[in-house]
Amino acid sequence: MRPFDYTRAENVSDACAAAFAPEAQFIAGGTNLVDLMKLEVMAPGELVDINRLGLDRIEESDGGLRVGATVTNSDLAADARIRQDYPVLSRALLAGASGQLRNKATTGGNLLQRTRCPYFYDTDSACNKRSPGAGCAAIGGETRNHAILGTSEHCIALHPSDMAVAMRALDARIEVQPQDGPAKAYEMDRFYCLPGDTPHIETVLEPGDLITSVWLPAPKGTRQVYRKVRDRASYAFALVSVAAVIEMEEGRISHASVAFGGLAPMPWRDVEVDALLAGAEPSADLFDEAADILLQGAQPQEGTEFKLPLARRALRAVLEEATL
């Protein structure tokens, strides 16, 4: 770990100003960042602690819920309104990490957690995310927890979050305070960036930008399912996960938003899948067609080919469960 300075910010504007400095980095729960600092995968010169900014509240707002950036994963999963109206989010949160980690990990931090690609974690390996232009050791190496959608020839890393997958299905908006200027809000598909030839750029955040909250609109479906497939029963990242928010009307799907984990560099959603499902009558053929659409552009590696049948079957099972 490289020596670093530490600042505890007292308010949002101070935090943004402090983080605008070169090599500065926000820290909230630190469950991912501290590990990465120990390994010198990340080596910020300054940490700006945002735990005392009062961003730890969940409030009803604009017909939905506004979740502060430092609300812990445990608190969010346990919140009665979340459990009642957004159960897919509560389940996704509880499917992630371990109890100890969830007690520390925060909403904003979870959105920004880094990939678990082992070559990213190994500073002896080539990684375009860590050192732009260095190459990608994962391609042609040992792949398992890697992406099959949205990848590029420069990076096949996966976004590891469970929480973000559920938020994507819930049409969450990420609210950001820039270092200068008014607050902004991003739909999740506008927030994350695909690797392309700049895998080191993972989000639209600029230096000094602080995620202050996530706004969840009123849920568009009451049938909510989160399913995570993993190597062990707990404390393992998703091989594939599916979050579905579905509404049924007279035997037909009136609303569908389906998001995926374990498949892509960002919590994945395919508008064509949602469009196919909306208005349709549930059937095995329909769900298979949805899987066809989802996976049509997939580019698996040798070690990730299993995700094709697995994603198909998980999607089918989730849709069956949600439309029963």
Nearer to other proteins, 214 or 319 (CB): 319
Nearer to other proteins, 66 or 146 (CB): 146
Which of these ranges, 38-46, 52-60, 75-83, 291-299, lies near other proteins under the rule CB under 8 A? 38-46
Q: What is the DSSP string of 78-127?
A: H-HHHHHH-HHHHHHHHTSS-HHHHHH-BHHHHHTPPP--HHHH-TTS--
Among 201, 204, 236, 248, binds other proteins (CB under 8 A): 236
The footprint of other proteins on residues 62-101 (CB under 8 A) is 98
From CA 179, how far away is CA 75, in angstroms rounded?
28
Which one of 11, 123, 283, 299 is in contact with other proteins (CB under 8 A)? 123
Q: Distance between CA atoms of 204 and 175, rounded to whole angstroms?
A: 12
In the complex, minimum distance from the CB of residue 174 to other proteins, in angstroms, rounded to a whole number: 26
Q: Is 324 among the residues that bind other proteins (CB under 8 A)? A: no
C-alpha distances out from residue 134 to 156, 185, 225, 235, Å? 14, 33, 40, 31
**Whole-angstrom Cα distance, residue 248 to residue 238?**
28
Indicate which single residue of 40, 153, 187, 206 sits in contact with other proteins (rule: CB under 8 A). 40
Return the residue of 5, 10, 11, 38 that touches other proteins, per CB under 8 A: 38
Select 61 or 123, whichever has its Cβ closest to other proteins.
123
Q: CB-hemisphere CA count at 13 Å for 210?
A: 32
Is residue 200 at the binding interface for other proteins, with CB under 8 A as the rule?
Answer: no
Rank residues 135 and 217 by Cβ distance to other proteins and give the closer one: 135
In terms of CB distance, is 153 or 235 closer to other proteins? 235
What's the chain's Rg over C-alpha atoms?
19
Whole-number Cα distances in Å, 251 to 43, 222, 271, 324:
54, 14, 22, 9
Nearest CA to 15 out of 215, 209, 181 is that of 209
104 binds other proteins, rule: CB under 8 A: no
Q: Of 104, 132, 114, 139, which is closest to residue 39 (Cα–Cα)? A: 114
Kindly list the residues in this chain that would bind other proteins in the complex (CB under 8 A): 1-3, 38-40, 98, 116, 118-119, 121-125, 140-142, 144-145, 229-236, 239-240, 306, 309-310, 313-314, 316-317
